[in-house]
Structures are given as structure tokens and as C-alpha cells.
Structure 1
Amino acid sequence: EDMVEVLFAALARRVATQISTSTMSSWCTADDTSALSASGLAQSAIDVLCKGAGPERRGLATSYTDTQIDTMIGGITGSQDISYMLLSGFFVFFMQAGFAMLCAGSVRSKNVMNILIKNVLDACIGCMAYFCFGWAISYGTKDSSSFSGEFAGEGWFFLAKGDHDASFTNWHNFFFQWAFTAAAATITSGAMAERTAFQAYIAYSIILSGFVYPVVVHWIWDTAGWLCNWKTDKDGNDDTLNGVGMHDFAGSGVVHMTGGIAGLMGAAIVGPRTGRFDASGRPMAMPGHNAALVVLGTFILWVGWYGFNPGSVLAITGDAAVSVARVCVTTTLAAASGGIGAMILNYSLYKVWDLVAVCNGVLAGLVSITAGAYALQPWAAILSGFVGSVVLWASSKLLLKLKIDDPLEAFPVHGACGAWGCIAVGLFADEKLLGNENYGALLGGGGKLLGNQILGICVITLWVSVTIGGLFFTLKMFGMLRASAEEEAAGLDESKHGGSAYNMEPSKV
């Protein structure tokens, strides 16, 4: 990094100096040459950079001011950051493939096409809903100089200029945030798999992507949001709740809790799959049809998380590069400890090396570190992931006690572990990494951050439960929530999608 800075400095001085087209023998001053040599650059490379006056170089006899040079370097830095955010958005969007494989492997073979078309439409419907309403509610303002409300954004519906005084330039942020939106909607579909009517899925996908999720985003991630940990007033002064706000770095609460709570409400209201519980209420096993797809989906999601968490640094130049690397490490440690924790727990209780449980443990660890990937030290990341595997197991058992059928354990993985991830920040956030005197309670930072984290968990739960729960309850009243018993028995692939996902008929050729 230091060498790059030295090179930039040398190049800036080179173009800032009036160059003689007849006597030029070097591009660099003595100070430039000394600095390049001290940086470790080979002398041959220094000679190429600084010496020689070929005709292609003589035409650059232009003088630039310091301001112009700063502008040029700033443009290069900004382009790198935008490119990094776009690349991270590609990774987050690729997580849809991971969700698709995970969902397909976790359901019975007669419902594979049904769950896959929902995964595809999460991206399509989510994109349209976020374009029309979601972005505006998340981050919109009436004009470039205005300040949106604490509850929701106020402008840029349909990304339209309207009466704004500046054209829209935030394309990279829109793309990055849409990829997160699609993830939240996909979480919900897994909890309601194998018995939900297709029209109900379309309805909640629109409402969740276009309204419910964006409101949570605005509260916690927009500068004007009432829970945002970098909230400011209209004059740019700090206005965070209790001096610290809620710290949810990449979305344990914003994304995963929102999707998980929505899934919990859907699973509870739609009811369990036929045969999931016997007459006495005892759960009956309904394993997914393909563990290989579950493993493939888990690994794709793990890779995608390197866009989810490190991408949320929102920059890659300068000191941000070190932060990106650190977030990669904490993310990896939490995933690994979550998988190991699930393996140990399941073998200790059932004497089985459970492959699917380990995969879910990895995902639980990833969800658990998403809020604190930036603010937790490595040891705390390991602890967060390990505890996440315990939270996963305990919440899964609780759902069975309540006779709530969640085929993909979407609420335990995303809802319960998302809440734990937010609490972990309140307990273990490092003072220097967080950059606030109100850091982790167990590290001596007091209880303000922990209190804000718990408050955020409560309001997310209440908001999503009321809005999405109300939608599902209304759909159920009108008979639009659940597929018929006949359709469920035959499989939603045959009854709704024109055939099976697997063509097993022998070839006639």
C-alpha cells in the first residue's frame, strides 16, 4: 500500500512539473527517486519509471495544480470503491443460487420446481418492487439538500427525478441494496415451503421487498434513521440514540431477522405440512430429498457472504482495505465455529454425525457474525458463531414444541441467530473497532449499546410480525394462503408447474 502511495506521489509530481521537450532526462526528482528506492522497488523498475524521454512522453508538457491532482487521484479512488461495491453486489446476488440449491435439496422431490421458481421470482419481483418503492423508502429524499424522516425515506420513487434538483447517480448503491432485498425475501419462502399457494408467495414478496424490509433498512442504515449508528441531524451533528445507535453492520437484524420473522409468521399461520405431526403432536421426519444440493447451496452461500459482509465496508481504497480483510477473517471464523458447534452438539445428543445439521450450523455462524463482523475481534467472532449453533438447535426444538413446521429451519437460522448476532455486538463489540465509548457491555463499555441492540430486535420483530403477519392472516381468511390438500398430496410440481423437476422416463430414442 505504501509503495502505491509513493508511486502516485511520483506520478503526480511528474505531471505537475513543466517538462522540457528537448533536455528532459528524468521524470522524477531526486526526492522521488530516493522515495521509490526506499520503498523496495528494484532499480531497473525505477529506471523505467523515471528515465528516458521517448517521443510518446514529450507531449505531456502540461502543468497541473495541486487541486487538479487531488481531483484526479480522488476520481481513481472513487472508481475503485464503486467497482468494489458492484463486485460485492455480484457476490450477494449469486447467493440466490445458493439459496436455490439449499431449498431444492431440503424439500421433497415432488416440490422442487415450486421452490425453485420462487427463488427465481424473488430476484425478479424483488427488483421491480425495490425499483418502484423500496429504494425511495430506504434512502429517498425530496431533493439533494433535503433530509428524510426518521421513519421512512421520502423521494426517488421509481428512481425518477420528479421535482428533485439533481440527477440520480447512486446506481451502485441501488444495485448493492437490491441484492440484499432479494436475500430477505428468499429466506421467507423456505419457511413456508411445500404447502403455500403461489399467489400468496407473490403477494408477500411484493410487500416485503417494496415496503416492510425497506422501512427497517431506513431505521438502521440511513443517516436519518432513528436507530442508525451514524445518524446526524440536519446540520450534520451527531444525533445517535444514546450516543451510539444500533450497530448492525451487514444485516443480522435488518436482513436476516426481517426474513426470518416473516417466515415464522408465514409458517405459523399457514400451518404445518400434512403429516408433519402425528395425532399426539409428535413430529414426524420429512427429510429433504438431496443432501448433495444442501451442501452445494451451503458452500455457495458461504462464498456469497464474502460480498455480504466485506462488501458492507462500502470501500476498498486506503485503510478500508485492511477493514475488508479483517471482516473476511471474522466472517470465516464464525462460519467454521458454527459448523463445528453444530457437529459437536448433534453428536453429543444423538450420536450421529449429521451432515445437514453441520451445514445449518455454518449458516447459523454466518448469520451470527453479520451484525458484528466489523466490530468483533477474532475470538469474539468464534464465540459468536459457536453460540449461534446452540441458538439454532434450541430454537428449532422450540418450533417443534409449538408445532410450527419450518422445512428449512429459516427462522432458527436467520431469525433467532440474527437476533443473537445483534446481541453479540452489544456484548463483545471492541472499543477501538466500534469507534465509540459505548462499546460491548462485557468488555466494560456499559449497557447503552446492548440496550439499543435489544430495542432494535424488539421493534424489528414487532414491525414485521404486524405487517407480514397481517398480510398472511388476511390471505388465509380469503382462502388464498394454502394450496389444497389434493395439490399438496400430489406435489406442487405436478399440480401447479406442469410436471416433475426430474424427468425419469426412459428415453425412446
Structure 2
Amino acid sequence: MQGAAAALANSLTGGIGGEHDRLGGARSLLQPRQQPSNSTLQMDTTYSLTSIGGFLDEQLTILWMLQCAFLVFFMQCGFALLEAGTVRVKNTKNILLKNVVDACVSTMAWWAVGYAFAYGTCGDSPFIGYHNFFSADANDTSQTTYWAFWLYGWAFSATAATVVSGAMAERTKFRAYLLYTTFISAFIYPVVVHWVWSGSGWLSAFRRPDCSVEKEEPLISGTMGVMDFAGSGVVHMVGGGASLMGAIFLGPRLGRFTKDGHVVQFDNSSPANMALGVFILWLGFYAFNSGSTQCFYGCMPIAAKVAVNTTLATGAGGLTCLFFAVFNGNPGDIAPLLNGILAGAVSITAPCALVQSYGAVIIGAVGAIFYSLSSKLLLRLHIDDPVEAAPVHLFCGCWGVLSVGFFATKSSTEAVYGYANDWGVLYGGSGKQLGMQLLGVVCIGCWSCGLSGIMFYVLKKLDWLRTSKDAELQGLDLSQGIGSGMRGNCFPCLPCCQD
């Protein structure tokens, strides 16, 4: 999304600025207004064509953004299926309820304060925006693209909040879900958006095309600011950091670790739902990444490249995880393959528009290694994350942001941002951009983990975080009075439901 602003400015310059040759074809079939003389007719024809070109570009951009926003929101279906298939059957309805609640709460939070904190207006504080609460300033009919960009930003916000629910599944009180979702959607996530994507933030280097206030130099001179094209850091690190803190303060599920430290494997309720959920998420990543161009005219070649790189990294991540599982003597289970797919998708989100295809394959494969190692580390530390949200989103998100400093090419950087102060060290970059990317990882990680840790600590002290032992053993579906998601005559008293 950061690179989108520069790309949007370039496309609008081309579409509205009067490049007559590029306004030919179908656009020239529209009839100009009649004028009394040949000279004025020629001038009015050019003016009409450029105006028509700008109008069509604007309408197509709105259509593109809406379609991508719909698909990004469809990722909520993927999260719901993945989490419902991963948890034990006695918690199925509970986790589905919390996924739906996440979407609803994030909607109200983004409308009330989230968008204002994230984008504000030109010249706002480098730390946080503070204009347009409740979309109060967005009723001007001249702001024709505002609502499309609002909806796209909301879909991202809902994604960041939903990531956390899987890491805290099967042992969290309902009120805790409401509170942490509100806090993440209303404050933690929007502030990071402002830092990197608003054009006014202190980690951003570009100036919004609709902004008359000149942007200061980036924090590290000679860099591009933090380049995170579609959100490895802004979205996934925020959600993954909150997931890690939630899992730590909750503690592991009952029976997850034996007294001597061995890991007890719980049976997933539905591998079919897990696989279907991951395929839906894979589809959503195309809109997540390609839609971050945030423009139509002149941006589709970049969007196509982004889609290809997303595909390559995702496939490489899945195969790498499967290879390591088989190489270590484990059976070719579906779980590592599915998480490897997501690891590759998260890793490529930041560099998807900035790297070559072979770079995407390497980034996806390395992301799968990051996931595998971090997953084993958390288990060794007795941190129980049922869907492994922290390894996938936090650790692979860190790698995705850092990978830009290694693999971004000069030509791709210029194509996306319109200029290139620095790029990846593997392609002749000075190393300053890598330092800027590392700074972004540290700042986003400290912010998301720090504030989430404080929030979960307070909830734990208030006894609002974890359910009772009896409720967890019985299953949250029945203990919280929402009925049972179990099939047939399966009841918690039976051995099959005691896992």
C-alpha cells in the first residue's frame, strides 16, 4: 500500500495530464462537444479526451479497489474455516462466533477512530493522524475515491485483528475477545499504518499525491523509508505480535504439555476445513497484494507481476515445509504444508512488487524455514499457539520486511515508487535501505508486542482473560451457553471429546 501512492500519482498524471496518444482507442470514440471553429474544436477535443480519460481512470480505480476489498474480506472465511478445522470439536461454535465478532467490532472501530488515526489529513503528526473521525469530513462529493479506499483499509484492519483469535483459541473468555479486537483495530494497527503508509508518518518517505504539504526527508537519508508494499510488517507483524503476547499471557491449553515437557498433539476437528480455509486465504492474498497498487490506469502490469510473485512464493513455502517434514522422518502431514503455504504468502507481502520471480521463490522458501524454526522454538518454550499464528505472521512478517533490503531491484523500485534512493544489497544497494527495513521491523515489533503485552497483562490481572479449568475441559461451546458444535451423539462426557 505504501508504493501505491506513488503509482497512483503516476497513473493520474498519465490519465489526466493529457498524453493524447494513450487516450486513443475506445476513449477517442466518445464524441467531443461541437465548437464553431476548427482551432477551438481541436482544443476542446483534447480537453474532452483528457477529462474523459481521467474520469474513466477514476471509475476503474474505484472498481478495482472495491473488488479487491471484497476479496480481502473474503479471507475472513478462510480464517474461520482454518481455525474451526484446527481446534477441537468441542470449541467449534465458539471460535466461529469470535471470528464473526472480530469482523463486526473492527468495522465499528475503523469507522469511528481507526481510519482517522491511520491516515488523518496531510501534515498530521508523524506519530498518529487526528482528522476525519467517524468519516465526518468525507461527505464532500468531490472525494469520489474516498469510500473505496476506506473499504480497502477496513478489510486490512479486520485481517490484522482476526489473526489473533486462532492463537488464543479454546481457553479465552468472550469479553477478552471484544476488548482486544477493539484495541487492535482502533489503535495499535492504525498507528502503524500511519507510520508507514499515510505519507505523513515518520517511517514513510513518499508524499501523498493529494497532499500539498511537502514530506520531510526519511529518517535515514538516502533511503526510501520503510518499503512494505502490502503489509508484511504493517498487517502481519501487528497481528502476529498480538498473537504471541496473547498466547504467552494465556498459558498453554490444559494437557498440551506433559510434566516432563513433551508436547501432546491434539486432534484437529476437520482437516478438510483447514485445507479449504488455506485455499481461500491463498486466493485472498492476490487481492491483498495486487490491490495494494491502489490504482488502475498504468498499474495493471505491476499488479500482474505482484500476483505472479505471490503465487511463486506461496508454492515455494508449502513445498519447503513439506520437504523438511519428510526429511526429518515425519509423515507427509497436511498441517506443515498448509502453514508453509501461509508462511510463503506472508513473507512475499512486503516485497511482492519489488523483486524478480526467482527472488520471490527464495523469499517464500526462506519464509517457510523461519516458520518451521520459530514454531519449534515456541513449543520448546511451552508457548501454545493452536493455529501457529505467531510463527506464520510475526516471524515470517519480519522476514518479509527484511527481504526488501536484500532482494529489491532498482528498476522495480523505480517502477513502483517513481524514484529509487536505494534498493536491495544483493543488487548493488548501499545497505542503508536494509538498515531502514531493520528499523521498521524493530519499531513495529516493539509497538505491537509491547502494547499487546500491556493489554493482556491488565486483562489477566482483572481475571477477564482465561476461562476456568472446568469450562475449558467441558468445551467453550457448552460452558459459555452457545450450544454444541459437535456432531451426532458426541458429548463432553465421552472419551472422544476429552482431548
TM-score, normalized by length of structure 1?
0.86
Q: 2:230 aligns with which of 244, 250, 258?
A: 250
How many Å separate the matches in 2 of 1:217 and 1:93? 18
SS in 2 for 1:15: coil
Q: 1:91 aligns with which of 71, 82, 85?
A: 71
Structure 1 residues 183 and 448, CA, compared in 2 at 3 Å: closer, same or farther?
same
How many Å separate the matches in 2 of 1:432 and 1:63? 36
Deviation at 1:448, TM superposition (A): 1.0
- Matched residue, 1:488: 472
Q: 2:218 aligns with which of 214, 236, 240?
A: 240
- Matched residue, 2:32: 15
Structure 1 residues 85 and 292, CA, compared in 2 at 3 Å: closer, same or farther?
same
Deviation at 1:64, TM superposition (A): 3.7
- Matched residue, 2:192: 216
How many Å separate the matches in 2 of 1:194 and 1:289? 12
How many Å separate the matches in 1 of 2:432 and 2:267? 43
Identity of aligned residues (%): 43
Q: Which amino acid aligns with 2:239?
A: G
How many Å separate the matches in 2 of 1:206 and 1:351? 40
Please tell me whether residue 462 in structure 1 is matched to residue 446 in structure 2: yes
Deviation at 1:354, TM superposition (A): 1.6
How many Å separate the matches in 1 of 2:28 and 2:147? 33
How many Å separate the matches in 1 of 2:200 and 2:228? 15
* Cα deviation code 1:396-436 (max 9, x no counterpart): 00001111000000000000000000111111101111121
Q: Which amino acid aligns with 1:355?
A: I
Q: 2:90 aligns with which of 110, 129, 136?
A: 110
Please tell me whether residue 358 in structure 1 is matched to residue 298 in structure 2: no
Please tell me whether residue 161 in structure 1 is matched to residue 137 in structure 2: yes
How many Å separate the matches in 2 of 1:105 and 1:372? 30
Please tell me whether residue 205 in structure 1 is matched to residue 184 in structure 2: no
How many Å separate the matches in 2 of 1:4 and 1:63? 17
Q: Which amino acid aligns with 1:489?
A: L
How many Å separate the matches in 2 of 1:503 and 1:389? 35
* Cα deviation code 1:342-382 (max 9, x no counterpart): 11111001331121110110000000000000101101000
- Matched residue, 1:139: 119
Verify the 8 A CA contact 1:18 1:63 in the aligned structure 2: no
SS in 2 for 1:225: coil
- Matched residue, 1:412: 391
Deviation at 1:467, TM superposition (A): 1.2
Q: Which amino acid aligns with 1:325?
A: A
SS in 1 for 2:263: coil
Q: Which amino acid aligns with 1:265?
A: M
Please tell me whether residue 339 in structure 1 is matched to residue 318 in structure 2: yes
* Cα deviation code 1:263-305 (max 9, x no counterpart): 0000001100001111112211113211110100000000111
How many Å separate the matches in 2 of 1:165 and 1:113? 43
How many Å separate the matches in 1 of 2:147 and 2:28? 33
Verify the 8 A CA contact 1:256 1:414 in the aligned structure 2: yes
SS in 2 for 1:283: coil
* Cα deviation code 1:108-163 (max 9, x no counterpart): 0001111111111111000001111100000113xxxx51110000111111139x
Deviation at 1:340, TM superposition (A): 0.7
How many Å separate the matches in 1 of 2:143 and 2:185? 21
- Matched residue, 1:128: 108
How many Å separate the matches in 2 of 1:237 and 1:362? 38
How many Å separate the matches in 1 of 2:112 and 2:35? 53
SS in 2 for 1:241: coil
Please tell me whether residue 312 in structure 1 is matched to residue 292 in structure 2: yes
Please tell me whether residue 438 in structure 1 is matched to residue 422 in structure 2: yes
How many Å separate the matches in 1 of 2:421 and 2:32? 45
Structure 2: where are the runs of 5+ without partners? 1-19, 415-419, 491-499
Verify the 8 A CA contact 2:87 2:386 in the aligned structure 1: yes
- Matched residue, 1:449: 433
How many Å separate the matches in 1 of 2:43 and 2:204? 45
How many Å separate the matches in 1 of 2:186 and 2:142? 22
Q: Which amino acid aligns with 1:114?
A: N
C-alpha RMSD over aligned residues: 2.5
Q: 1:183 aligns with which of 159, 176, 190?
A: 159
How many Å separate the matches in 1 of 2:22 and 2:422? 36
Q: 1:499 aligns with which of 476, 483, 496?
A: 483
* Cα deviation code 1:59-96 (max 9, x no counterpart): xx999453233112210111001110010000000000
Structure 1: where are the runs of 5+ without partners? 21-60
Deviation at 1:236, TM superposition (A): 2.6
Structure 1 residues 503 and 343, CA, compared in 2 at 3 Å: closer, same or farther?
closer
Q: Which amino acid aligns with 1:262?
A: A
Verify the 8 A CA contact 1:161 1:168 in the aligned structure 2: no
Q: Which moved more, 1:351-360 or 1:325-334?
A: 351-360
How many Å separate the matches in 1 of 2:183 and 2:190? 10
How many Å separate the matches in 1 of 2:454 and 2:421? 40
Q: Which amino acid aligns with 2:214?
A: G
* Cα deviation code 1:426-466 (max 9, x no counterpart): 11101111121410012210111111111111111111122
Q: Which amino acid aligns with 1:236?
A: E
- Matched residue, 2:171: 195
Q: Which amino acid aligns with 1:193?
A: A
Verify the 8 A CA contact 1:248 1:254 in the aligned structure 2: yes
How many Å separate the matches in 2 of 1:428 and 1:102? 31
Please tell me whether residue 323 in structure 1 is matched to residue 302 in structure 2: yes
Q: Which amino acid aligns with 1:372?
A: P
- Matched residue, 1:478: 462
Please tell me whether residue 171 in structure 1 is matched to residue 147 in structure 2: yes
How many Å separate the matches in 1 of 2:430 and 2:189? 30
SS in 2 for 1:223: coil
TM-score, normalized by length of structure 2?
0.88
- Matched residue, 1:295: 275
Query: Which one has a bigger Cα radius of gyration?
Result: 1
Structure 1 residues 19 and 321, CA, compared in 2 at 3 Å: closer, same or farther?
farther
